[in-house]
Structure 1
Amino acid sequence: MTGSDPPKVPATAKGEATRAFLLRTAAQVFAERGYAATTQNDLIAASGLTKGAFYFYFRTKSELALAVLQDQQARWLSQIGERVLAEAKAADQLRVLVPAMLELISTDPGAWSVTRLTKELSADPEVAEQVCKPMVEWVAFVADLVRRGQTDGDLRTGLDPGSVAAVLVGAFDGLKSLTDILEPTERAAFGFTERVQTLLAIVELALMNSPAPTGSGGDVR
């Protein structure tokens, strides 16, 4: 895929629905297997389309993977952002951030394709800038919560908001990768949620100046 040869954009509602279906299906496949271990034939088989129909929408695996990544990243930013910003105070927004992420992951099996695809595709110099931009936006989103919480006096000062945000985002993604290694498949979801609860407790103790309000939604168990 090159900048002068963009993917086809469906002109009909049916075409848009088919493209959306392909993105959801491919996201699940990439989340389960990773980019490198997934072949174009795997993606075609999972879609149930003929090769001709599949290639009308996406001509290469990398083209489809980039589209999946952009779609999933937009979903993270919009859906999680909507729930987080429903809270009035920045500290409470930070508290509901991780539960909102866990909820998205539990309802969308392909959501974890973001982590794998970002890591694998960022190594490709042709698409690295496109791949990394949404992650930069995501870290900036979290950094803004930290910065406003510090200004409000609810979060401890003395730590750089950008650095705090990078650590929190990295810890969340890293816990998923670690859980994939440590836990059998049938226990992975529970093990991940349990470890994220520990991360939330650490954040509360290390960053917050005031206790969480009763029934704040910070506990997703």
Structure 2
Amino acid sequence: MTPTTPATAKGEATRAFLLKTAARVFAERGYTGTGLSDLIVASGLTKGAFYFHFSSKSALALAVLRDQQERWLHEVSERVLAAGGALEQFRALPPAMLDLLATEPGAWSINRLTREMAADPATADAVVKPMAEWVEFVADIVRRAQADGDFRPGPDPHAVAVVLVAAFDGLKTLTDVLNPGSEASGLFTRRAGVLLDLAQHGLLPPADS
């Protein structure tokens, strides 16, 4: 940064850098497996400079969670909602999410952070809202597809969304466990396609209806 750069701009740049760095570290080690010292070392900042922006690991983790969730909702929703009707939007969900994971691996920190911080009474309440917003985004697509007659009216949209979000997250976690290494990304993409097919077959109305 040059001396003429306004302090506020420099501060925002540093904060953005810390969020991106922490997202990567949390994605690799998880919340409980990451110490505050790990985050400071990864940032390359002095303790004083680090503490100026974030006073604790939980404060940084919550900021990462909010930042990443906003990215997911903004980037995925922008692409998905431009796909056409609700059915087309439903089909566009997995590719949009997979592309985001491919271009920004730190985005997966949402899954681990949410799960681990939800188990901590000190941070549990703060992680509910972002996840609830994501579930409601998916539920709204299912609800509109039902209203359009493209999906069966029976299944509860919110319940469907909870199952789908949980299945997608769980599939990523299980693939990383069963197939660690370079093959994981391709296998996860193909398995996500299977998940979408199963979901569609379960939601589409009978062919003779």
User: If the length of structure 2 is used for normalisation, what is the TM-score?
Assistant: 0.92
2:99 aligned partner: 103
Q: Does 1:25 align with 2:26?
A: no
Quick one: which amino acid aligns to residue 138 of structure 2?
Answer: V
1:142 aligned partner: 138
CA displacement at 1:209 relative to structure 2? 4.2
1:72 aligned partner: 68
What does the per-residue CA deviation read over 1:155-189, in whole Å, with 9 as the maximum and x for residues that have no partner?
12211111111110000000011011101222111
Quick one: which amino acid aligns to residue 205 of structure 1?
Answer: H
Identify the match of residue 42 of structure 1 among 32, 38, 44.
Answer: 38
Contact 1:154–1:210 (CA under 8 A) maintained in structure 2: no
Contact 1:31–1:110 (CA under 8 A) maintained in structure 2: yes
* Larger relative helix fraction: 2
1:164 aligned partner: 160
Kindly report which structure 2 residues correspond to 1:1-221, keeping only aligned pairs within 5 A, or say none.
12-209=8-205
Contact 1:91–1:208 (CA under 8 A) maintained in structure 2: no
Number of residues paired by the alignment?
202
SS of structure 2 residue aligned to 1:157: coil
Structure 1 pair 65/203, CA: closer, same or farther in 2 (3 Å)?
same
Distance in 2, matches of 1:24 and 1:167, equals 29
CA displacement at 1:112 relative to structure 2? 0.5
Quick one: which amino acid aligns to residue 156 of structure 2?
Answer: D
Quick one: which amino acid aligns to residue 87 of structure 1?
Answer: A
1:216 aligned partner: none
- Runs (4+) of structure 1 exceeding 6 A deviation are none
What does the per-residue CA deviation read over 1:45-100, in whole Å, with 9 as the maximum and x for residues that have no partner?
11111111111111111111111001001111111111111122111111001110
What does the per-residue CA deviation read over 1:120-148, in whole Å, with 9 as the maximum and x for residues that have no partner?
11122232222111111111111110011
Identity of aligned residues (%): 63
- Consecutive unaligned residues of structure 2, counting only runs of 5 or more, are 1-5
User: If the length of structure 1 is used for normalisation, what is the TM-score?
Assistant: 0.87
